[in-house]
Amino acid sequence: MVVFFWTQGLRTLQNAAHRSSKRVSYCTAVQAGKKSVNGVELCYQQTGTGDHALLLMPGALGSGETDFGPQLKGLDKKRFTVVAFDPRGYGSSRPPNRDFPSDFFHRDAQDGLHLMQVLGFSRFSLLGWSDGGITGLIASALSPANIRKLVVWGSNAYVSQEDIAIYNSVRDVSRWSERMRSPMEVMYGAEYFRNTWSAWVDGISQFTHNPQGSICLELLPQISCPTLVVHGQKDPMVPSFHPQALLQHIPNARLHVMAEGKHNLHLRFAAEFNRLVEDFLLE
């Protein structure tokens, strides 16, 4: 099934153009679809007609729509074909309900890679935020022939005791701000959200049992594509030793720090982020 929708940002753009009676002469429609991948139905959004295909990978419990509105709207549609997907159990890719077996990041990586294959893209770049960045690191390491470039931000390749303390401090969603909690409750309902978030905290905490708390540390040297690691200097969730470790272990990586950026730097500073990423991808 394929339906068309306007993201909130696009609707705003369209209304603004209408109000000023300017003709919108470029296609900004975002096409939403669903494909059968690895035994589940995965939902995705797609926009643009460019030669360079991108897969956008959302964070924990995130979806293409909630996590990448400004990218679906703002990335250059003539140069890029942008796909954002809802990992299984997240967003509209339900059922199944989400679970967190020890290989959940690998499973998301395989799902993302296969989705792009099903959509007809054999070589593409990956943009991954937070958990989606972890997924992107794994996908790039395991499938180098398919990946042109990789961008990750707010991501970590291992978990430390400091991370575990941070995870546990955000486990109880009733203590989240209304602004953070409410969109998730709208998407999932309060109960699914509360339970799944807590299951995520348990899921990511499993990695402490690995040597060095590794999620994918040992795979980083296998990432051969040019990689841009973006870090928000003011990110309260991801200590700066994480981007440093990525830089150290990925052979062809560079780091860009956004001084005012927090965890959601691509939403808060969307224009700056989009420009940075486009410049890197077009080099």
Residues of this chain, 13-72, that bind ligand TYC according to CB under 6 A: 59-60
- Provide the phi-psi class of 213: left if phi over 0, else alpha when psi is between -120 and 50, else beta: left
| Residue with smallest beta-carbon separation from ligand TYC | 59
Cβ atoms within 10 Å of 202's Cβ, excluding its own: 11
Angle formed at CA 230 by CA 225 and CA 231, multiple of 5 degrees:
145
Sign of the dihedral through C-alpha 266, 122, 249, 205: positive
**Interface with ligand TYC (CB under 6 A), residue from 142, 166, 199, 247:** 166
- Residue 1, CB-side half-sphere exposure with 13 Å CA sphere: 5
Rounded-to-integer distance, Cα 192 and Cα 219, Å: 32
| Residue 175 Cβ vs ligand TYC, minimum distance, rounded to whole Å | 13
Q: Which stretch binds ligand TYC (CB under 6 A): 72-80, 92-100, 164-172, 222-230?
A: 164-172
3-state DSSP assignment of residue 279? helix
- Binding status of residue 158 toward ligand TYC by CB under 6 A: no
| Residue 155 Cβ vs ligand TYC, minimum distance, rounded to whole Å | 8
**Which C-beta is closer to ligand TYC: that of 46 or that of 130?**
130
**Which C-beta is closer to ligand TYC: that of 10 or that of 151?**
151
Strands 52-57 and 227-232: unpaired
Both tokens of 262, joined, read: 């927090």
Rounded-to-integer distance, Cα 21 and Cα 32, Å: 27
**Interface with ligand TYC (CB under 6 A), residue from 118, 170, 199, 267:** 170
Active-site residues, by number, are 130, 235, 263
Site string for ligand TYC, 103-142 (x = CB under 6 A): ---------------------------xx-----------
Rounded-to-integer distance, Cα 19 and Cα 14, Å: 9
**Which C-beta is closer to ligand TYC: that of 143 or that of 160?**
160
Site string for ligand TYC, 207-246 (x = CB under 6 A): ------------------------------xx--------
**Which C-beta is closer to ligand TYC: that of 146 or that of 156?**
156
- Check if the beta carbon of residue 10 is closer than 8 Å to that of residue 73: yes
What residues line the site for ligand TYC (CB under 6 A)? 59-60, 130-131, 166-167, 170, 237-238
